[in-house]
Amino acid sequence: MHVDADVLDDAVMPAVDHRQPGGLTPGELATILAAAMASGRVAGVDVTIYNPALDPDAGAALAGALIRGLAGG
C-alpha cells in the first residue's frame, strides 16, 4: 500500500510538496487504512511526500493516522 502524506488536508499536514486544501482528515485516512488492512491483502506499506523540516508538530497527525489505521482502526 502506498500512502502520500499530501492526501491529508493542508490544515493538518503542512509538511508536503503539494499542499492542497480539502484533503482527508487524519480520521478519514485512518478509516481507509483500516479497511485496507482488514482486506488481508496488504503485503507492505510505504509512506512518501513527507518533509519533517516543514512540520512543527513533527508528523503527529500523519503518525497518529498511520498507527490507528494500520492497527485496524
What are the extents of the domains in the chain?
2-70
C-alpha cell at 24: 482527508
So what's the pLDDT on residue 73?
67
- With a cut of 70, list the residues of the chain below it in pLDDT: 73
So what's the pLDDT on residue 72?
84
54 C-beta neighbours (distance < 10 Å), count: 12
Are the CB atoms for 11 and 59 separated by under 8 Å? no
Length of the chain: 73
What whole-number distance in Å separates Cα of residue 62 and Cα of residue 25?
A: 10
- Position 13, amino acid: M
Task: Report phi then psi at 55, rounded to 5.
Answer: -120, 105
